[in-house]
Structure 1
Amino acid sequence: MPKTETFQDLVLGERKTHQELWRWLYTELRSAILDGRLKAGTRLPSTRNLADQYGLSRGTVVAAFDQLREEGYVSSELSAGTFVASAPAAKEDTVPKWKVAGKTTSRATLGRHTKGLFNPSFVLPSSRSIGMAFRSYEPAIDLFPVDLWARVAARVYRNAPRSLYGQGDPAGYQPLRRAIAEYVGRSRGVKCIPEQVVVTSGAQQALDLLARLLLDAGDEVWMEDPGYPGASQAFHAAGAKVIPVPIDSEGLQVGKGIELGPRARVAYVTPANQFPLGTVMSAKRRVELLAWAVRSGAWIIEDEYDAEYRYFGKPLASLHSVDASGSVLYVGTFTKMLFNALRLGFVVLPERLVETFERARSVVDRHPATLEQAVLAEFITEGHFGNHVRKMRQVYAERLHSLTEAASGRLAENLEVEAAAAGMRTIAWIKPKLSDRVVAERAARFGLEVVPISTFTAQYKQKPALMLGFAGCNANEINRGVEVLEKVFRTIGQ
């Protein structure tokens, strides 16, 4: 090892508050070695001299040198001293073009299949406020019974056996699986036993896992168009070929799906409240879809994210409730029903898929948070969840009425706001010949959150429209939002 370099005084960075002295010195010396200020072969001063030079104790310097030696940055020779470790030096003519001023930039890239995969509009902003018009993804957080939830949580945490602090079941906490099975059986007609329920970190994780398990690269998947982007992105990520299938007044056009994707292995549908149009799949289409699945050996993923909130007519049974073949995989979530931060959802599976899904669930993140599951299980079994849903159904109906009333008075010339039959958001059709994206962008300048319907279309164009959420904002905020939209239309073109 050449030892021609001499140690120069180093300008050391400022020590961070509460940072140990030896770790500070070690970090500064390591940085000097990595960025070339201390070159390979440089002899370092003795620990005593370095301690005197920087006003440190000798023990502090010894500890820093020991760490550098352990990690291979320096080496020591008996009676010779401590030296910066050597590294192969590159010849000038072999230095790559991407090496600039002694520093290198990684050339590692993403996999080719990720190009153009993710839709930036699908990434929701973190909540710095709640209750703003017209967020389509936010329930009435202002009305969630926080004190009640806190009391249940405190009791669960206080009385939980120590086993709940250990490794959890990848399929979920058994009492919660039992509570979910009983609830969806009673409210949605889903016939299942607790062992068929697997708890996930929200509906999105359920869709992601189903896509990985059911599909091989190149497999065809029917996707509602317009439709939920989280589902299409999960299918794309699995390497599937997504086949957009148009929606009409009866829901997914099954015949068109057969024509466009005859070899499809999966169909994704939101039959109770189509996302984003709000269409209800007719009984005829449901029969056609189930018959196709049995005939083709295909799966149907039924996503019921907010079907509990229905304002007109009788409650609709789930597609799963009329499936005698075991073709329907039922996905649900508590995020929309309770609050966004509760990242808990579930999927109801045929028994033959449960073990495989559990293993896949374990690979992703081992298991869902057990203590949160225990709190939710108690919240459901004690009747609080059902009470909250019933209360919110009434509140959301009133907020929807506030929106349609305010819009009919101030936006009649520009928007036709539908009185949604179900869910937490509605469609507002734009009457003037304007792009819905232009309207949404202008609204954003005024601090208003609206979503253009065109962001959910893949192939089949819709009339320009906005998706307006009404569940998370009270009547005053709804009126403010309508006033802002009125201003938006008045200023477009100016």
Structure 2
Amino acid sequence: MFRHTQLETVKAWLIHPDYAGLPLHSRIQRAIRQLILDGALAAGKPLPATRGLAASLSVSRDTVENAYGQLHAEGFVIRRVGSGSFVAPINDLLPVAPRTRPPSRETDAIRAGLSARGAAMVVHGGTHSGGPVRLFQQGLPETRNFPIRIWERLERQVLKEHGTAALVMTDPQGARPLRQAIADYVNLERGARATADRVLILTSSQQAMALTANLLLDPGERIFVEDPGYHGARQAFAAAGAVPVPVPLDREGLIVRQMFDRADKARVVSLTPSHQFPTGATLSLERRLALIDWAARRGGWIIEDDYDSEFHYAGRPTACVQGLDPHDRTIYIGTFTKSLFPGLRIGYLILPPDLVAPFTIARTQQDGHPASIAQLVLARFIQGGHFGAHIRLMRNIYAERMRILARLIEKDLAGLVEARVPSGGLQMPCLLTCDLAEARVVNAAARAGLGLTGLTALHATARPQPGFLMGFAAFTPTELESGVHILARVLHDLKTAAHPD
């Protein structure tokens, strides 16, 4: 049972005006989480029975049950059938990784007429090529189900209310209504600690990474990145003159102990903790807390790319690192490219207070200010509940498409491809289980109209098992079935050519 002071702490969260926008179960969950983080609830300590705590707080037992369930999902508590709920052991990670030499930076010849920075920007190609969508192209949301009529109605409302004022330059930090809507959303759904004043509206997560790299990293300075990881992040950092230092992963995400006591002494790390790209791993709570401690002691920064956390199909997503960080060393990147549609071109940063002004000034040197009408429409779309409703609908659709693709692979590609079914996201990692080269498969599939993304290019150092990513979110069951049949023909043709006998 809680001591009196601990119970009073939880009650204070329930009545505090700053948390009035959160559901009751979220306030209880966050209050208990903070008690654990502060050390007021030690590892192994039992939590009160749900019925007893509900009576003490004058809430329903289901409310307390939901709070405990989220704490369990995030790794803060352990639940034992018949015994109750207990505070999980959260141990500091020790800097025991052996010293390793950082990989040398690739030195390509500067292309004719380009500066060294210009060459660094183009040597590895762009983050996307545009053109028509290909079956299985990763990272694409379904747009045919978007409520375009609602969007049109909201746009008419904006133009009627604002008139020609909606056509002029807007606040370079972003429209206040949208910044407030984003802050409210990430606080409720992602466990963040955001206010409208800390939100900076941008065009995309790629712009966010480029801006962050240029403002926080000097040329030649090192930054820790996930290996494997999103190639667009590595490109943004390399283009700014920084040196990406790959850190390997396991099932719990980034192996953070390998960052500690390194000879390179990087002070910035970039990662996708909620749904790692491309493996789908979720960074464990212990490692999140270790990262936060590292950044505070090092005077460093955590760049948290939360690119598709809305689409989680097994349980509830874990709280973001930014919401756990009491030291304000985390820079949170979000985008509507995957949750709504790519053509919207709206992303955002949630910044520590001291970085808001310099980041806003720097963004004016890139594109002045974000588009005003789209911001105002999106703000109404979120505030009116349409965004939440759309996410819930698409989450169900994507989960079903993921299951269909997994079944099709098991049925039609047995002995050739093994699916690694993810817990969330818009794409499925697949491994080649036959003796075919990854590049040959990806290239042959492209000639057949398929958009597979090879896994090898996403690794900086280790040689992975050959395979590829298969996007499933943007394609109907019929399209997925057609694409798998095409891929089966491609693989069988390649095997026949390799073994004509």
TM-score w.r.t. length of structure 1: 0.76
Partner of 1:479: 481
Change (3 A) 1:311 1:467: same
Count of matched residue pairs: 386
Mapping for residues 140-289 of structure 1, pairs under 5 Å = 140-260=142-262, 262-289=264-291
Change (3 A) 1:151 1:261: farther
Mapping for residues 376-415 of structure 1, pairs under 5 Å = 376-415=378-417
Q: Is the 8 A contact 1:300 1:329 kept in 2?
A: yes
Partner of 2:420: 418
Distance across 2 between alignment mates of 1:123 and 1:269? 17
Partner of 1:29: none
Q: What is the CA distance between 1:126 and its match in structure 2? A: 2.9
Distance across 2 between alignment mates of 1:113 and 1:231? 16
Partner of 1:470: 472
Distance across 2 between alignment mates of 1:324 and 1:111? 41
Q: Is the 8 A contact 1:243 1:261 kept in 2?
A: no
Change (3 A) 1:315 1:108: closer
Report SS of the residue matched to 1:142: coil
Partner of 2:118: 114
Report SS of the residue matched to 2:209: helix
Mapping for residues 337-348 of structure 1, pairs under 5 Å = 337-348=339-350
Report SS of the residue matched to 1:355: helix
Change (3 A) 1:108 1:452: closer
Report SS of the residue matched to 1:160: helix
Change (3 A) 1:119 1:474: farther
**Equivalent pairs: percent with the same residue?**
38
Partner amino acid, structure 1, of 2:113: T
Partner amino acid, structure 1, of 2:360: E
Partner amino acid, structure 1, of 2:326: A
Q: Is the 8 A contact 1:215 1:265 kept in 2?
A: no
Report SS of the residue matched to 2:172: coil
Distance across 2 between alignment mates of 1:229 and 1:295? 29
Distance across 1 between alignment mates of 2:282 and 2:476? 27
Distance across 1 between alignment mates of 2:153 and 2:426? 28
Distance across 1 between alignment mates of 2:489 and 2:262? 43
Q: What is the CA distance between 1:244 and its match in structure 2? A: 0.9
RMSD after superposition: 1.6
Q: Is the 8 A contact 1:122 1:229 kept in 2?
A: no
What are the Cα deviations for residues 83-136 of structure 1, in whole angstroms up to 9, with x where unaligned? xxxxxxxxxxxxxxxxxxxxxxxx9710023335436564423354x5x42011
Distance across 2 between alignment mates of 1:440 and 1:108? 31
Q: What is the CA distance between 1:291 and its match in structure 2? A: 1.4
What are the Cα deviations for residues 225-246 of structure 1, in whole angstroms up to 9, with x where unaligned? 1111111111111111110111
Equivalent in 348, 351, 367 of residue 349 of structure 1: 351
Distance across 1 between alignment mates of 2:125 and 2:494? 23
Q: What is the CA distance between 1:261 and its match in structure 2? A: 5.6
Q: Is the 8 A contact 2:416 2:432 kept in 1?
A: yes
What are the Cα deviations for residues 437-465 of structure 1, in whole angstroms up to 9, with x where unaligned? 22111111111110101111111221111
Partner amino acid, structure 1, of 2:230: Y
Equivalent in 373, 376, 380 of residue 375 of structure 2: 373
Task: Flag as ranges the 4+ runs of structure 1 deviating above 6 A.
Answer: none
Partner amino acid, structure 1, of 2:474: G
Partner of 1:327: 329
Change (3 A) 1:116 1:360: closer
TM-score w.r.t. length of structure 2: 0.75
Partner of 1:74: none
**Higher-Rg member (1/2):** 1
Distance across 2 between alignment mates of 1:314 and 1:155? 35
Equivalent in 305, 310, 313 of residue 311 of structure 1: 313
